[in-house]
Amino acid sequence: MIRLALLLVALALPAAAQEQIVAGMSQNRVSITADFDGSEILIYGAVKRAGPPPEGVGPLEVIVTVQGPSTPVTVRRKDRVAGIWLNNAEVRVDSAPSFYAVATTGPLDHILSDTDNLRHAITIERVIRAVGITQEADRAGEFLLGLLRVRTDEGRYRVLQGKVELTEETLFRTDVILPANLTEGEYKVRLFLLRDKRVIAHQERVIGVRKEGLERWIFNLAQEEPLIYGLLSLVLAAVAGWGASAAFRLVRA
Q: What's residue 44's pLDDT? A: 95
221 and 189 share a domain? no
Q: What's residue 8's pLDDT? A: 42
What's the average model confidence in pLDDT over 51-67? 89
27 and 149 share a domain? yes
Q: What's residue 60's pLDDT? A: 94
Q: DSSP letters of 149-171?
A: HHHHHTTSEEEETT-SEEETTTE
Q: What's residue 72's pLDDT? A: 85
The strand pair at 100-104 and 61-67 is best described as: antiparallel
171 and 189 share a domain? yes
Count of domains forming the chain: 2
Domain that holds residue 231: 213-253
Decide if 155 is inside a domain.
Answer: yes
Decide if 5 is inside a domain.
Answer: no
The tens digit of pLDDT for each residue in 145-186 reads 888 888 999 889 999 999 999 998 899 999 999 888 888 889
Decide if 83 is inside a domain.
Answer: no
**Top-confidence residue, 136 or 45:** 45
46 and 139 share a domain? yes
126 and 237 share a domain? no
237 and 169 share a domain? no
**Top-confidence residue, 55 or 15:** 55
Helices (H), the chain: 2-12, 108-111, 114-120, 124-127, 133-136, 141-153, 214-224, 226-252
Task: Output the CA angle 39-154-135, nearest 5 degrees.
Answer: 125
Cβ atoms of residues 224 and 217 within 8 Å: no
The tens digit of pLDDT for each residue in 71-127 reads 888 877 766 666 666 666 677 777 889 999 999 999 999 999 999 999 999 999 888
189 and 237 share a domain? no
What's the average model confidence in pLDDT over 39-61? 88
Decide if 74 is inside a domain.
Answer: no
The tens digit of pLDDT for each residue in 187-244 reads 999 999 999 999 999 999 999 988 765 555 455 555 555 666 566 667 767 767 776 7
Residue 161: CATH number of its domain? 2.60.40.3880
Distance CA 53, CA 168 (A): 10
Decide if 117 is inside a domain.
Answer: yes
Q: What's residue 24's pLDDT? A: 92
198 and 134 share a domain? yes
35 and 106 share a domain? yes
The tens digit of pLDDT for each residue in 15-41 reads 444 899 999 999 888 887 766 777 889
Distance CA 186, CA 97 (A): 11
250 and 136 share a domain? no
Decide if 44 is inside a domain.
Answer: yes
Cβ atoms of residues 186 and 12 within 8 Å: no
53 and 165 share a domain? yes
